[in-house]
Amino acid sequence: MLRFAVVGIDHGHTFDHVKGLLAAGAEFVGYCPQTSVPALLENFKKTYPDTPQIDRDRIFADPSIDVICIAAIPRDRAGLAVRAMKAGKDVMTDKPGVTTFAQLEEVKRTVADTGRIFSICFSERHCVRSAVKAGKLVKEGAIGTVIQTLGMGPHRLQLPTRPAWFFDPEQFGGIIVDIASHQVDQFLFYTGSTSAEVVASTVGNFGMSDKPAFQDFGEVLLRSEKASGYVRVDWFTPEALPTWGDGRLTILGTEGYIELRKYIDIAGRPGKDHLFLVNGTEMTHIDCSGEKLDYFDAFSADVRDRTETAMSQAHVYEVCRLSLEAQSRAARLGHR
């Protein structure tokens, strides 16, 4: 049985990692209680009251632990991942897995030297049932050849809950590196592209003049040999929306299109994970709430078999590279 521990409880995505691996049959052996968000740690303790708290050094030194899950402050994730891999452990980290080009190169060297797995859990695909269903439909040819993706990732700011690092690009990497990496991942995955280029990118601060370094808007235009993609992310989800963000994805093919309304169908059907399919023979809504999430099972199998079925290492690197490049090249709008 795969045994895993958690190091870095600074983002709520840590719950996705633990829940997913437990559902895949893994054993949760412990976690380091260091955090920058005390309320998050308290919730974690209440959710897993029987799981022991373990000193970070002991976790890395324990040869019986196979996987380290990381949802630390973004700038710290790569360093923790490198330490874990050098200790003989595979890694599942929250996005962004890296916040600088130097970190990306260090991760790549460590993977090459150790043979360990460095996997990023892109929760907007790996933990969204409608996104899993969309992947199956694309693979089946339901919309022909994919030629474009339009990904939108709006988020609610929830200002009182945010730690200081949240507003510092040096610590979170910038809005494109942080949250647009989800949409970069989706572009490569659904178009079947192994590489791409950044055509244009923009970041902006339109709503927080008192925090001029913060970025509450970002957009990216991507292009590969197969397709193009547009990404928009922001921190402007209005209070009336009953969820944290109206995440959407439209996948355009030569014979139809798919639209995902991941978390809400505004003024429409209740619940989440709505998929709309339109092609030459049907126009239909698919409730994907029963779709199985396969990333965690595949990751567990990869740890056991030393394979790359959940996601190739090259894919992880390319998502990181494109996100970093788009962030570094971005034009700046709004408050400066």
Q: Among 121, 153, 176, which residue terminates a domain? A: 121
Does residue 79 sit in the same domain as residue 164? no
Asked whether residue 316 is assigned to any structural domain, the reply reads no
In CATH, what number is assigned to the domain containing residue 166?
A: 3.30.360.10
10 Å CB burial of residue 198 (0-12, 13-18, 19+) is: buried
Per-residue pLDDT of the chain (336 residues; tens, 9 = 90+): 999 999 999 999 999 999 999 999 999 999 999 999 999 999 999 999 999 999 999 999 999 999 999 999 999 999 999 999 999 999 999 999 999 999 999 999 999 999 999 999 999 999 999 999 999 999 999 999 999 999 999 999 999 899 999 999 999 999 999 999 999 999 999 999 999 999 999 999 999 999 999 999 999 999 999 999 999 999 999 999 999 999 999 999 999 999 999 999 998 999 999 999 999 999 999 999 999 999 999 999 999 999 999 999 999 999 999 999 999 999 999 986
- Round the CA-based radius of gyration of the chain to a whole number and report it: 19
The full 3-state SS of 202-247, as one line of letters, equals: EEEECCCCCCCCCCCEEEEEEECCCCEEEEEEECCCCCCCCCCCCC
Does residue 245 sit in the same domain as residue 275? yes
Q: Tell me which residue has tokens 């690197």.
A: 317
pTM greater than 0.85 (yes/no): yes
Q: Among 121, 153, 173, which residue terminates a domain? A: 121
Residue positions counted in the chain: 336
- Tens digit of pLDDT for each residue in 180-192? 999 999 999 999 9
What gap in Å lies between CA 201 and CA 221, rounded to an integer? Answer: 6
DSSP structure class, residue 180: I
Total structural domains within the chain: 2
